[in-house]
Amino acid sequence: MHEADELARSRSGVTGSGGIILSVRCKIRMSAAGVHLFDRVSGTNVLLDEVPVPAEQFSAAPRYLSVALTNACELRCNYCYAPKHVAALDKERVLKWAIELDAAGCLGVGFGGGEPTAYRRFAQLCSDITQSTSMAVTFTTHGHRLTPRLVESLRGVVHFVRLSVDGVGSTYERLRGRPFEAVVRAAALLGSLAPFGINAVINGDTVGELDDLAEFADKAGASELLLLPEQPTAAIPGISDADAQRLVEWAAAARIGARLAISRTGLEAALSTAEAVPGEHPLDAHMHVDAMGFLRPHAYAPKGLSVGGSIMEAVHALRGAR
């Protein structure tokens, strides 16, 4: 789960240009909002909004693509929206898509699932994309497959990681069916790998633990706490209005060390929360590919287009259908 929130993240947000130093590998994206500079290593975004960009020079790719590499996951969270049938994408196909998207101005690809670390040759895919493109490579994980060996194989080839932690202590253990201590160890491993954030699904079970989650994120050294109001699925109704209101009130008063982000409508909305580009159409901000190879506006969208030989052809077709 949580593939869509794997943003080509910003630790500083889209900012003005004053005083920010970018690496020579900075990537450029052009849009109606201006010229967007992105450095995947530092996570810095700069939007030169005073620069007019002719429409014919707009980057054709979405700013960010989330990819469900596989539907496989050994956990059984009752709020999971990932399909349960067996499906996984071909590694070479994903690499080809990434190269195509990179050339068309996409800033980042984020892997989810299912559980992306259950995907065969996951580290090799991350490495291939990082070597072949200038996009940020990110992933969201439940953390229970992370080992020192896997972390070592991912070193230098991923730019940000999101760890899913829904509640703390016994709440986490009840919801995720795994020891809380294990996810604490996972956070420590990630801290040695790359900048990372904590994701938390907020529902009636976890809304009372927001202070504890914030404390956990701070202590773990996370740079972001992303709160995801539970979405309805066939099995559950989603967060109640009362709990959503509690979340809003908590967020308004929260003072935490990590950057706080909240998805309003689902995981993909968190993308624009993190790097809001003024006036950006949702399909310019983000698209999603599921584990069957269908391109969708977002992970919850009921319909998608099968991606054939070219993902940019599918991107254009999806835009044409809007």
CA–CA dist 245, 158 (Å, integer): 35
Residues 164-203 that bind ligand SF4 (CB under 6 A): none
DSSP state of 45: E
Q: Tell me, what amino acid is at 195? A: P
- Asked whether 306 and 317 are in contact (CB, 8 A), the reply is no
Binding mask 116-155 for ligand SF4 (x = CB under 6 A): --------------------------x-------------
Part of the chain binding ligand SF4 (CB under 6 A), chosen from 113-121, 191-199, 223-231, 239-247: 113-121
Smaller CB separation from ligand SF4, 73 or 157: 73
Structural Rg of the chain based on CA atoms: 18
Provide, rounded to whole angstroms, the least separation between the CB of residue 73 and ligand SF4: 3
Q: Tell me, what amino acid is at 257? A: G
Provide, rounded to whole angstroms, the least separation between the CB of residue 6 and ligand SF4: 12
Cis before 114? omega within 30: yes
Residue from 8, 65, 68, 73 touching ligand SF4 (CB under 6 A): that is 73
270 closest CA partner among 43, 6, 12 = 6
Provide, rounded to whole angstroms, the least separation between the CB of residue 140 and ligand SF4: 8
CA–CA dist 196, 190 (Å, integer): 7
Smaller CB separation from ligand SF4, 142 or 286: 142
Smaller CB separation from ligand SF4, 76 or 149: 76
DSSP state of 70: B
Residue from 8, 35, 82, 151 touching ligand SF4 (CB under 6 A): that is 82
Return the structure tokens found at 292. Answer: 């069957």
* Contact residues for 211 (Cβ-Cβ < 8 A; gap 6+): 250
Smaller CB separation from ligand SF4, 29 or 176: 176
Part of the chain binding ligand SF4 (CB under 6 A), chosen from 22-30, 75-83, 185-193, 293-301: 75-83
Residue 146 Cα to chain centre, angstroms: 18
Query: Considering the rule CB under 6 A, would residue 80 count as an interface residue with ligand SF4?
Result: yes
Count of positions on this chain that bind ligand SF4 (CB under 6 A): 11
Residue from 76, 149, 255, 322 touching ligand SF4 (CB under 6 A): that is 76
* H/E run at residue 97: helix 91-103
Given the rule CB under 6 A, which residues bind ligand SF4? 1, 73, 75-77, 80, 82, 113-115, 142
